[in-house]
Structure 1
Amino acid sequence: MSDKAVYAAGALVWRVVEGKLRILVIHRTKYADVTLPKGKVDPGETLPETAVREIFEETGIQVNLGVPVGVSHYRLPSRKQKIVHYWAAHATEGAVRRSAFVPNKEVAGLEWVSPTRALKYLSYPVDIEIVENFLRLESDGVLETFPIIVLRHAKALSRSEWTDADAARPLTDRGTKQAQKISGTLASFGVRRVVSSTAVRCVTTVVPLATSLGRDIVRTDDLSQDAFEAGTADVRAVVGKRVRSRKAAVLCSHRPVIPTIMRELALATGTIEGQYLADAATLEPSGFSVVHLSATHPGAGIVTIETYDARD
């Protein structure tokens, strides 16, 4: 991210009420406008973390991020450029009921409106573009989605520095820090299942995430490098199970295995392979790709892929 720009993140928060789609807009006190919830990135945050935090702070609603729905650019009075990243985010009925929102000096009120109303009601053209992007996805039948996150383990000791079995090779200090730093970003996508190669370096990478979520780590040799190189890893079975479950999951594995995971995701969802899959599989230690799939029609193909670089 450039120091010359101001970065922010938010979401188009949606729900279905009595069979009708509704979009959340906020009325801001200071600006007397109607807009989508968003806010500036805090030091050390990633954009997905910012989006989830800002939605909660402005509305009291805890959300998980779905597919990205656009980026807005505009000039501030200071002449700096502001860049805002948006995701779709489904607000469950439970999350709405748990909201403790009260009008305050920043947000005067919340309102759930129809898409048609939102397009006429929002104060800024950049917000209208985000709604239009979201509605194109909705018209394509991909309103509800879930992610499968393909994660390369964090930085491990090199083979030359390790004399024991390769599967026991641990993370470096840098790798341990990377594992901590990626945990919040991974959690932003509503992870429900944490699946890892049995190798120590993979399991250790997802420990902070599993701990924060209160989830067990599912360890499998089918994602391990040793089994993959021996020709005994059943990557297809792991991927197929996760696609059928239609629940957000992280698959932590190794550089040689990840291209096969991506190909199996394409195969399981009827997606045409291309360079984009190879790009999404080219990950540095602790890097990951978020593969968004339709929850209602996962066999209709990959909706989109986001790739996140390693965090140091």
Structure 2
Amino acid sequence: MKIVKEYSSGGVIFRKVDNKNKEVLLIRVRKNGFELPKGHIEQGESESQAAIRECKEEVGIINDLVLGDKVGEIAYSFISENKTIQKKVSYYSITFSGVFNYIKPKNTREIIWISERELETIELVNEELRSIIAKCLL
């Protein structure tokens, strides 16, 4: 079976609720489980540029986004069309200014904000995301 390597980038969009607490934005694209917005890095695009673009596309964000530090990576593989896809995804912390403004895209089923407490129990598409999200909630 042919092996194909793919690279994606995404963001942990977070906001301050008050002086002590933050929330992180999650999306649900698949039937089950929430995830962070992410997608393929296009030719000539850096990881960080892709993270900003994909967050805008998958959430429908109208606000200007501010890129922060790289907060983690996950790697996984799956089979598609008789190929093994080995995927690596890099995630960056991302903030925005002003009141959050978006128009939900058709392919995104749901957009939610979660607190650190909610992170413990929410169903994620990949358990490795939990520690990456937690870094932005501290």
User: Is TM (by shorter chain) over 0.5?
Assistant: yes
> 1:208-219 residue pairs with structure 2 within 5 A?
none
Q: Provide TM-score, normalisation by structure 1.
A: 0.38
8 A contact 2:7–2:89 mirrored in 1: yes
SS at match of 1:58: helix
Shift of residue 77, structure 1, vs aligned partner: 2.1
The reply on whether 1:60 has 2:60 as its aligned counterpart is yes
Shift of residue 31, structure 1, vs aligned partner: 4.0
Query: How far apart in 1 are the matches of 2:58 and 2:112?
Result: 12
Give the letter for the 1:11 counterpart. Answer: G
Query: How far apart in 2 are the matches of 1:24 and 1:53?
Result: 16
Query: How far apart in 2 are the matches of 1:81 and 1:31?
Result: 22
Identity across aligned pairs (percent)? 27
Q: Aligned pair in 2 of structure 1 residues 22, 31: CA closer, same or farther (>3 Å)? A: same
Shift of residue 117, structure 1, vs aligned partner: 1.0
Shift of residue 50, structure 1, vs aligned partner: 0.6
Structure 2 unaligned residues grouped into runs of 5+ = none
Shift of residue 103, structure 1, vs aligned partner: 4.8
Bigger fraction of residues in helix? 1
Structure 1 unaligned residues grouped into runs of 5+ = 139-312
Match of 1:84 among 72, 86, 89: 89
Query: How far apart in 1 are the matches of 2:131 and 2:116?
Result: 12
8 A contact 1:119–1:131 mirrored in 2: no
Query: How far apart in 2 are the matches of 1:120 and 1:6?
Result: 30
8 A contact 2:76–2:86 mirrored in 1: yes
> 1:128-277 residue pairs with structure 2 within 5 A?
128-135=130-137, 138=138
Q: What is the alpha-carbon root mean square deviation over aligned residues?
A: 2.0
Shift of residue 33, structure 1, vs aligned partner: 2.5
SS at match of 1:64: strand
SS at match of 2:121: helix
Give the letter for the 2:92 counterpart. Answer: W
Query: How far apart in 2 are the matches of 1:93 and 1:49?
Result: 21
Bigger fraction of residues in strand? 2
The equivalent of 2:71 in structure 1 is 69
The equivalent of 2:116 in structure 1 is 115
Shift of residue 6, structure 1, vs aligned partner: 0.7
Shift of residue 68, structure 1, vs aligned partner: 0.9
Deviation per residue, 1:42-93 (Å, 9 max, x gap): 2221111110000001112231210110011111224221100001111323
Give the letter for the 2:9 counterpart. Answer: A
Shift of residue 124, structure 1, vs aligned partner: 1.5
Query: How far apart in 1 are the matches of 2:93 and 2:87?
Result: 20
Structure number with greater Rg is: 1
Shift of residue 18, structure 1, vs aligned partner: 4.1
Q: Provide TM-score, normalisation by structure 2.
A: 0.82
Give the letter for the 1:128 counterpart. Answer: R
> 1:17-36 residue pairs with structure 2 within 5 A?
17-19=17-19, 20-28=21-29, 30-36=30-36
Q: Aligned pair in 2 of structure 1 residues 128, 17: CA closer, same or farther (>3 Å)? A: same
